[in-house]
Structure 1
Amino acid sequence: MSDITTLTDFLEKTGANLRVFDMGRRVSLVSANTFSRFEQCEIPYPQPYMYHARLGVLFWYPQAPEQHFIWFLQFPLDEQGFIIQAARDDFLKRLLETIGQNAKDLSEEENQQAQNLMKDNPLAFTPDQERIAIFNAKAKLALGQPASRFHDQAEEYFTGQREMDNWEDIGLQGIADFTVRLEKQDNGAELTQHIADFPDIPFSALCRCLENEAIDHKLAAAICERAEKLIADPEADRLTLAAAIRGVGHSQAKGLRDGLIRSVLESSHSEDIEILTVIAARAWESLESPALLKPYLEKLAICSAGDQAFVKIVRDLIFVPGLRTLIIAQFRDPDRSEALSNAIGLLMGQDS
């Protein structure tokens, strides 16, 4: 395979500018150094999701910055979270066979061939609509392009320039653009001021986009305050509560996020599979605290979705660097409940 052994090698030799985004647990930029080291099997993937590294690869060429290419790839991971090299090598082989061994100064036709490689590629995947919207918003920002035409409507609504019930013409792409540019356009204070007033549907859509942003303490506090009211109400809409947890999942205010997770695990909503799934998928860093991981696993063992939900979620979490050791320690805790012991037994039995 000549001297090209990684995707980074290939793109560097073509002279491309590269941005890589995680498309799994949240849409976030993966540094060039982290991606390169991951490809070279020097480090496990930092944010694995369902046993894969799900990536959005954006690249373009200085001579034609208006033309960019996007590949959505999911690389399978081994039990330690490292890339399975055979899958990567097969992808590179297909790529080099498509455009030739001399990956340099690609013509427009060769670039299109490389793009078309995704159509029948076993590593290619299609993210959901929310992920696509966020990726598009972040890609435009990375390319120095203006936000989509839907941005202004979202900005007007979420900064209080519209009536609270006048939201039905606001699209997901507009909300994604608004949240991605929240700090850049200094809209955080106005958004925070109105968090308590948004109807459930736009509030939930907003939070599902905010989960990808490191929001500040004040905005996180406003979301948590609304969430605590939902937690206190046994009849509260679980999807709205789950969205609120997502909204603070990547917040800078880790103490507020952890406090919210603690509250929900002590509430009547603690065995709801929607809530438990969101914690694992979007606020998993809170589980790095043994004081939260222990009650989380206990609730998961008796949750409304049954034993298979425990197996699926824990298998996923074990792939996350930093959580595997902590989870195994909880498995060995002699004070664990009988329900957790039984769930662990089922997990081990299926893995043997």
Structure 2
Amino acid sequence: MSQPIASISEFLLHAGTEYRVFDFGRAIRPLTEQQFLDIENGQIAAPYPRQQHMWLGIVYWNKQLSTQHYIWFIKLPLDEQGLLVDAARQHFLELVVTALSEAKDQGENDLEQASQIQQNPYIFTPNQQQLADFNALVRVTTKQDVTDDFESAKRYLEAPKLLDWQQVSMQGLADCIHFAQEEELLVYTKDMTEKYPATVQQHILCSLENRSISDAVTAQVVKYINWHDCFAPLSKWALRAFAQTSDSKEKQRVLTKMLKRKKLDVDLLTIISGRHWQVLDDKNMMLLLEHAAKVDADNYTDFFASFFADLAQVPDTRDIALAALRNPERSVALAQAIGALFNNP
């Protein structure tokens, strides 16, 4: 690796690896190799930004050397247009190459050493649920077997009265959801409140958030949402669970109905913008921003500024969010929140 490395893709290819890239920004989603190349080359904006960063899980391996897979969790800053900041990406690579050079004399495995670099400001640690889902997704994508926890979790989900749920691991549940065919998902998501304790329901809903689901599974998840108390924690998990549904009409119906409520809390607003931004046409964007402005007006917080900045960086909602700034039908609260954006840049 004596030649200058221009990109993460080039680094991994130069090392003789195969790799898969997953975006962690707004649920876990796979990126194609071409998408990642285009993002690295500055040809397209990061599709799922969060907090002005691109969050990546990259698994790589060299099957000529071993069956071992290695992982990077990388958080890279984006500019105001959502493009990758090249200087930060290059700094990350410089740190990796320097660490590998220092370890080379010790005869350590380059790929293993690269995966263990922790003294790097661009490395982040996912939470336990994300790690379980990522592990399962990687196994599905790379055609690996399920983990040892899979069978006991599957037996429990199919016959919950016969097993103690506390003996079932989070990883086992994640494997069951990500390896499941539609028929199995329909079994797992039917009458969840009657079959499983709240903890198991939460894990199922969290895992569903990180995979694509069919119209039929979506319908069962939507039934799960208690419209009389949409602020309840498990209802919020259910709202996140159909982030990657194929049923765009049902998503539009559910979210439009929710946006018409008189009040939404910060968690619900964040879920809508972070998981269901695809429903934010001009009308729904105005409803969402009105709710966000009301949070600031009622609680004297600075929520609106960061909330708007996040929406303005998502490629799908950037133009719609910016157009909302000029909408003459905005309320006094929204006008004041927008004014504060320019008074406190």
> Using a 3 Å threshold, how does the CA distance of structure 1 residues 10 and 238 change in structure 2: closer, same or farther?
same
Q: How does 1:105-144 map to 2 (within 5 A)?
A: 108-116=108-116, 118-144=117-143
Retained in 2: the 8 A contact 1:60–1:67? yes
Q: Secondary structure at the match of 2:160?
A: coil
* Residue 257 of structure 1: how far off its partner (Å): 1.4
Provide the residue aligned with 1:271 in structure 2.
Answer: 264
Selected match of 1:316 from 300, 310, 315: 310
Q: How does 1:37-76 map to 2 (within 5 A)?
A: 37-76=38-77
Retained in 2: the 8 A contact 1:192–1:219? yes
Q: Secondary structure at the match of 1:335?
A: coil
Retained in 1: the 8 A contact 2:177–2:185? no
Provide the residue aligned with 1:148 in structure 2.
Answer: 147
Q: How does 1:72-87 map to 2 (within 5 A)?
A: 72-87=73-88
Structure 1 Cα separation of the partners of residues 64 and 270 of structure 2: 45
Structure 2 Cα separation of the partners of residues 246 and 218 of structure 1: 16
Q: Deviations over 1:108-146 (max 9, x none)?
A: 533333233x21111111111111111111122233322
Q: Deviations over 1:139-191 (max 9, x none)?
A: 222333222222223323434x22399533333212211111122x8512322
Please say if 1:283 is aligned against 2:258.
no
Structure 2 Cα separation of the partners of residues 208 and 138 of structure 1: 13
Please say if 1:299 is aligned against 2:291.
yes
**Letter paired with 2:287:** P
Provide the residue aligned with 1:330 in structure 2.
Answer: 324
Structure 2 Cα separation of the partners of residues 178 and 336 of structure 1: 46
* Residue 326 of structure 1: how far off its partner (Å): 0.1
Provide the residue aligned with 1:193 in structure 2.
Answer: 190
**Letter paired with 1:115:** S
Provide the residue aligned with 1:22 in structure 2.
Answer: 23
> Using a 3 Å threshold, how does the CA distance of structure 1 residues 79 and 63 change in structure 2: closer, same or farther?
same
Retained in 1: the 8 A contact 2:73–2:123? yes
Provide the residue aligned with 2:227 in structure 1.
Answer: 231
Structure 1 Cα separation of the partners of residues 60 and 110 of structure 2: 14
> Using a 3 Å threshold, how does the CA distance of structure 1 residues 164 and 276 change in structure 2: closer, same or farther?
farther
Count of residues paired in the alignment? 338
Structure 2 Cα separation of the partners of residues 110 and 247 of structure 1: 38
RMSD: 2.4
Provide the residue aligned with 2:167 in structure 1.
Answer: 169
Retained in 2: the 8 A contact 1:298–1:340? yes
Retained in 2: the 8 A contact 1:238–1:275? no
Structure 1 Cα separation of the partners of residues 154 and 318 of structure 2: 41
> Using a 3 Å threshold, how does the CA distance of structure 1 residues 113 and 196 change in structure 2: closer, same or farther?
closer
* Residue 193 of structure 1: how far off its partner (Å): 3.2
* Residue 192 of structure 1: how far off its partner (Å): 4.0
Structure 1 Cα separation of the partners of residues 157 and 282 of structure 2: 37
Structure 2 Cα separation of the partners of residues 249 and 56 of structure 1: 19
Q: Secondary structure at the match of 1:336?
A: coil
Q: Deviations over 1:261-303 (max 9, x none)?
A: 12222336x321121111122222222x223222111111113
Provide the residue aligned with 1:205 in structure 2.
Answer: 203
Task: Indicate the larger mover: 54-63 or 165-174.
Answer: 165-174
Selected match of 1:179 from 168, 177, 180: 177
Structure 1 Cα separation of the partners of residues 115 and 219 of structure 2: 43
Retained in 1: the 8 A contact 2:129–2:203? no
**Letter paired with 1:263:** K
* Residue 225 of structure 1: how far off its partner (Å): 1.6
Provide the residue aligned with 1:259 in structure 2.
Answer: 253
Structure 1 Cα separation of the partners of residues 54 and 125 of structure 2: 14
Structure 2 Cα separation of the partners of residues 66 and 306 of structure 1: 54
* Residue 341 of structure 1: how far off its partner (Å): 0.9
Structure 1 Cα separation of the partners of residues 202 and 299 of structure 2: 23
Structure 1 Cα separation of the partners of residues 8 and 127 of structure 2: 24
Please say if 1:36 is aligned against 2:37.
yes
**Letter paired with 2:330:** R
Retained in 2: the 8 A contact 1:28–1:212? yes
So what's the TM-score if we normalise by structure 2?
Answer: 0.90
Q: Deviations over 1:194-219 (max 9, x none)?
A: 34534443222211110111111111
> Runs of at least 4 residues of structure 1 off by over 4 A?
none
